[in-house]
């Protein structure tokens, strides 16, 4: 099984690119959303560690945002609690798809949390800063301060780009993305 890890900036279109590979995708953001919505164990751990901020189940993303903005260490606490579960879900996904030729890992903190293996194929999604800002501002609950906190815990984009075997320039047109993906698949299969 070939694992393709998708890297890039927040808002660069990583999930869009991941979906267009046409293989099973592990989307960590979707897993986190489900954990916040359905996993009472995660809620209890977050409630215990962030009792001033987390008080409703299903977990309200506004409460998470306020906790992150209130104190720098809160984001690290959240990541520590949530990423253990994300890793478990990823391992279940990998076992379920063990007979697939390729799987795609869409995990924002893939390198930061050392989730990838050295044999994984890393693909960096590069987008214009202006396109990224436009896309992020369209998201509901967009918060620049929150975005900056997330960027603080991420490795520099230059480092991620250097670590990647492939770079996809995302101009947000399906045709260009499909062409870039075909080129990558031709090389790795």
Give me the domains of the chain, ranges plus CATH numbers.
2-188 (3.40.50.300)
- Give every residue of the chain whose pLDDT is below 70, as ranges: none
Residue that has been written with the tokens 């279109």 in this structure: 13
Query: Is-cis flag, bond preceding 37, omega within 30?
Result: no
pLDDT of residue 152: 79
> How far apart (Å, rounded) are the C-alpha atoms in residues 89 and 83?
10
Q: Point out which residues pair with 102 in neighbouring strands.
A: 2
Q: What is the pLDDT of residues 71-98, one digit of tens each?
A: 879 998 999 999 999 999 999 999 999 9
For the entire predicted model, the pTM comes to 0.91
User: Which among 149, 145, 184, 144 has a CA at the least distance from the CA of 164?
Assistant: 184
Give me the pLDDT at residue 158, please: 94
Give me the residues paired with residue 125 across strands: 8, 168
Side by side, the strands of the sheet bearing 121-126 are 25-27, 102-106, 2-8, 121-126, 166-169
What's the alpha-carbon Rg for the chain, to the nearest Å? 17
């Amino acid at each position: 099984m070939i694992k393709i890890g998708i890297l890039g900036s927040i808002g660069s279109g990583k999930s869009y690119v991941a979906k267009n590979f046409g293989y099973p995708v592990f989307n960590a953001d979707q897993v986190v959303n489900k954990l916040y919505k359905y996993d009472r164990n995660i809620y209890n751990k977050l409630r215990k560690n962030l009792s001033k901020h987390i008080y409703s189940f299903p977990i309200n993303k506004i409460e998470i945002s306020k906790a992150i903005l209130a104190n720098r260490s809160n984001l690290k606490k959240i990541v520590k609690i949530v990423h253990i579960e994300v890793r478990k879900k990823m391992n279940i996904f990998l076992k379920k798809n063990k007979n697939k030729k390729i799987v795609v890992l869409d995990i924002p903190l893939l390198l930061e949390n050392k989730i990838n293996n050295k044999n994984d194929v890393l693909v960096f999604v590069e987008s214009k800063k202006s396109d990224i800002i436009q896309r992020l501002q369209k998201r509901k609950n967009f918060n620049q301060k929150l975005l900056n906190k997330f960027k603080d815990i991420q490795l520099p984009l230059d480092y991620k780009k250097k670590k990647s075997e492939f770079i996809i320039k995302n101009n947000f047109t399906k045709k260009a993305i499909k062409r870039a993906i075909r080129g990558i698949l031709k090389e790795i299969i």
